[in-house]
Structures are given as structure tokens and as C-alpha cells.
Structure 1
Amino acid sequence: MHMEKVSIYYGMTETSPVSLQTRRDDDLEHRTGTVGWVLLHIEVKVVDPMDGVTKPQGTPGELCTRGYSVMLGYWSEPEKTA
């Protein structure tokens, strides 16, 4: 498809919307097999969703994001925000 430098983005609506991205100079395996690198001024960690304990890198779990891009709440929806 002539897209040898395509980049992968990962995020959520609540993180406006991107937190991780592959780089143009990443090798093909990294660009197609991962969600990339954490963007500047963003922090992420993966935790066990049952007990909240931080998991080692490369293990499945729940992604937690902290930084300027994380929304403060749902517009006029305090119940959903809580």
C-alpha cells in the first residue's frame, strides 16, 4: 500500500485522545506489534485490575494514564464522572 512509514497511535477518548505512538524510525516489528512509546509529558502504568498492583512491563493488565491530556470529567455529567 506504499505506507512504509505508517505510525500507530493508542489512546482513549478520556485522554484527548492519544497517549502512545510508534515512531517513524521504529522497525516494522515494533510499529506493527506494539502501541509504541509514551508521549511527552504523559505517564502510564499497567496494573492488575483486581487489586491495583503495578504489573511488570510487557504483561497484560489495565492501562492507567496520567498527564495534561486526561480529562477532568464528563461535561455536565457528575454521576458518570464519579
Structure 2
Amino acid sequence: MSSIVPISKKLSQKLLNLDIDEGVRIESIKTRKKMYINKRTSGCFVLEIINKDSTDMSEIRFCSDIIDIHNLIDNIFGKEYSVTIY
């Protein structure tokens, strides 16, 4: 019997094991937003949030806690988004 692992748990595992030369891209066509997540050598995460509406605004945030990152993802994207590891 196979088990299904929720995407948030998979994402948490990937973020915790992220190397400094890797990253995660989260995007939603519905909200027209993208988020790029990278890990610094200090262990802190850098998040770039891009709003692709008429303003094309970009915001940089720093997070040290995975839970804060998940809360931010839920607030920005809801439950409809794609995740790409690069």
C-alpha cells in the first residue's frame, strides 16, 4: 500500500535539505505571483516574491523558520500553486 505525502511535508523536507546552489520556485497562474526560495550559508532562507500584475513589484524577505515560510505561501498562493526545484 503506497502512502501519499502532502506537498507541504515534501516541501518542508526539500527546504531543510536545500543546498546553497539550489532553489525552489513556487508560482500560481491564478494569482499571477511567483516566489523564489534560496538558502544562505547561515541557514536562513531568502524569499523573493514577485507580483506579476501591472506593477511587477518584487519583495525580498528573510525567514529562519519553515513554518513561517508555509504560512507565507498559504497567504500568498492559497492551495493552488506549482513547485519547481532547481
The reply to whether TM is greater than 0.5 is no
Give 1 or 2: higher helix fraction: 2
Give 1 or 2: higher strand fraction: 2
The TM-score normalised by the length of structure 2 is 0.29
Task: Please say which structure displays the higher CA radius of gyration.
Answer: 1
Q: Which has the higher contact order (CA 8 A, sep 6+)?
A: 2
